[in-house]
Chain A
Amino acid sequence: MLHLSPTDYDAIRLSLQVAFAATLLSLPFGFATAYLITFVTFRGKMLVEVLVNLPLTLPPVVVGYFLLLLLGKHGLLGSLLNDAGIRLIFTLKAAVIASAVVGFPLLVRSLRIGMEGIDPQLINASRTLGAPWYDALGTVILPLSLPGFIAGSSLMFARSLGEFGATIIVAGNIPGVTQTIPLAIYEYASSPSSETMALSLCLVAVVISMVVLFLHELMAKKMARRG
Chain B
Amino acid sequence: MRCLLSICLLVLVWTTFVYADDVNLSVAASLKEAINELSDKFTKTHPGVKFLKNYGASGALAKQVENGAPSDIFISANVEWVDYLKSRKLVDIASIGTLTYNALVFAGTSDKASSMRDLIKLEKIAIGSPKSVPAGEYATEAFKRAGLDKQLAKKLVMAKDVRECLMYAEKGEVDGAFVYKTDALQAKQAKILFVVPQELYPRVTYPMVLTSTGVKNRDAVAFFAYLHSAEATSVLARYGFATR
Chain A: residues with CB nearer than 8 A to chain B?
Answer: 72-74, 87, 89-90, 172-177, 179, 187-188, 190-194
Query: Which residues from chain A contact B124 at a C-beta distance below 8 Å?
Result: 90, 174
Which of A174, A192, A193 is B154 in contact with, Cβ under 8 Å? A174
Q: Per DSSP, are chain B's interface residues mostly helix, strand or loop, or mixed?
A: mixed
Which of B63, B157, B172 is A174 in contact with, Cβ under 8 Å? B157
Which of B60, B132, B153, B172 is A176 in contact with, Cβ under 8 Å? B153
Q: Given A172-B158, A173-B159, A174-B158, decide whether A190 and B172 contact each other with a Cβ distance below 8 A.
A: no
Which of A175, A177, A190, A192 is B66 in contact with, Cβ under 8 Å? A192
Inter-chain CA distance A192–B173, complex, in Å, is: 29
Contact pattern, B 134-162, Cβ under 8 Å of A = 1, otherwise 0: 00000000000000000001111111100
Query: For this complex, into which size category does the number of interface residues on chain B fall?
Result: 20 to 34
Q: Given A73-B173, A89-B173, decide whether A174 and B131 contact each other with a Cβ distance below 8 A.
A: no
Is B174 among interface residues, defined by CB-CB distance under 8 A? Answer: yes
Interface contact A190-B158, CB-CB below 8 Å: no
6 A–B contact pairs at CB < 8 A?
Answer: A173-B158, A179-B158, A187-B129, A191-B132, A192-B66, A193-B84
Contact pattern, B 101-135, Cβ under 8 Å of A = 1, otherwise 0: 00000000000000000000001100001011000
Which of B59, B155, B159, B168 is A191 in contact with, Cβ under 8 Å? B59
Query: Which residues from chain A contact B59 at a C-beta distance below 8 Å?
Result: 190-192
Q: 4 additional contacts, CB 8 Å, given A72-B173, A174-B155?
A: A90-B173, A172-B157, A177-B154, A190-B57
Chain B: residues with CB nearer than 8 A to chain A?
Answer: 57, 59-60, 62-63, 66, 84, 123-124, 129, 131-132, 153-160, 168, 171-174
Query: Which residues from chain B contact A74 at a C-beta distance below 8 Å?
Result: 172
Nearest chain-A residue to B159 (Cβ)? Answer: A173
Inter-chain CA distance A154–B154, complex, in Å, is: 31
Inter-chain CA distance A130–B59, complex, in Å, is: 70
Nearest chain-A residue to B130 (Cβ)? Answer: A191
Interface contact A187-B158, CB-CB below 8 Å: yes
Nearest chain-A residue to B153 (Cβ)? Answer: A176
Inter-chain CA distance A74–B109, complex, in Å, is: 13
Query: Which residues from chain B contact A72 at a C-beta distance below 8 Å?
Result: 171, 173
Inter-chain CA distance A174–B84, complex, in Å, is: 27
